[in-house]
Chains A and B, each alone.
Chain A
Amino acid sequence: MLFGLAYSLLGNSADAEDALQETLLGAYRHVGKFEGHSSVKTWLTKILVRQCARVHRSRKARRQMSLEGMEIERPSNAPILDGQMDVRQMLAGLSEEHREVMVLREIEGLSYEEIADVLDVPRGTVESRLHRARQHLKERFANYLEE
């Protein structure tokens, strides 16, 4: 479950494995301080989501640095190949906070309460982020979704 979550958030196995390993090591080191306000699963998910966000940010910063001053070839805007939607690329087009709620809801099947707990935000924020994420995807892939 944790590896699947990391993979969905980061989009590749290598980064997902790194994030998972760091998460498990971090949790192992600090397990004594876990107060049990949430379940162990939720606690590990919290660490993993934050770890993935960190990996994502550092990857973005690295990419910006290496491409500075270069002519960039923009990736295709339409992640549709042979009529099939590339879900990974679709999720990658979302902002970090929208991707998190979409993955936690649609792939991990967490309830709004659980997502709120994992992300440490109010339940209403989860609801509005999911709404905005879906609106974004709906607008971006209108042609495909209306078929």
Chain B
Amino acid sequence: MTECEWTIRLSAYHDGELPEADVMAVEQHVSQCPACQRDLRQYRKLSVLIGREEIPELAGATLEKMKDAIEWEGNPVILRLARRMTGIAAAVVIGGALWLMTGNSLASNTPTPLHDWEAAAVSPVADATQPNTGDAQLAEWIVTDLSRK
């Protein structure tokens, strides 16, 4: 049977996501279209089926394990300190290298402005390359970050 041009709206109608004005039009059409009536019946059957899916409980031991992992994540002061020190050391090394490279310009009183990439390189913020423009981007970034582990 060929697909009725109203089919695409049926799915949203089934989900109760159509604007009021469209609901009337769809209902009027469905009452006269056997193909759409059949589609709607099948959508309802699908929803009942999928809704019946049994989700197992999260085991208590697993919950404990997750809690421990998060607590551990919150505690490693030494690790955090080490990361910060590494960042500072890197900034000092890069800064020193830049100073050596541009050392001869010290004679003049007008310092040459830093290029963007140089400013980024000496920035102590390790994640400066990651713009934080929204939650979606942050979510994407977190997952990328997790995959680097």
Contacts and interface: CB of A to CB of B under 8 A. Distances in A.
Interface of A: 3-4, 7-8, 13, 17, 20-22, 24-30, 33-38, 42-43, 46-47, 50-51, 54, 85, 87-88, 90-91, 102, 105-107, 111-112, 120, 127-128, 130-131, 134-135, 137-138, 145-146
Contacts of A25: 69-70, 73, 146
**Size class of the contact patch on chain B:** 35 or more
Nearest to A37: B135
Given A106-B51, A131-B12, 13 more contacts: A17-B66, A20-B66, A26-B146, A29-B142, A30-B145, A36-B135, A87-B53, A90-B49, A111-B17, A128-B8, A131-B7, A138-B39, A145-B45
Nearest to B74: A28
B84 to A, nearest CB: 15
Contacts of A88: 53
Contacts, number: 120
A106 B8 CA distance: 17
Contact of B55 (A8, A91, A105, A134): A8
B12 A51 contact: no
A127 B38 CA distance: 20
A128 B9 CA distance: 9
Nearest to A44: B139
B73 A28 contact: yes
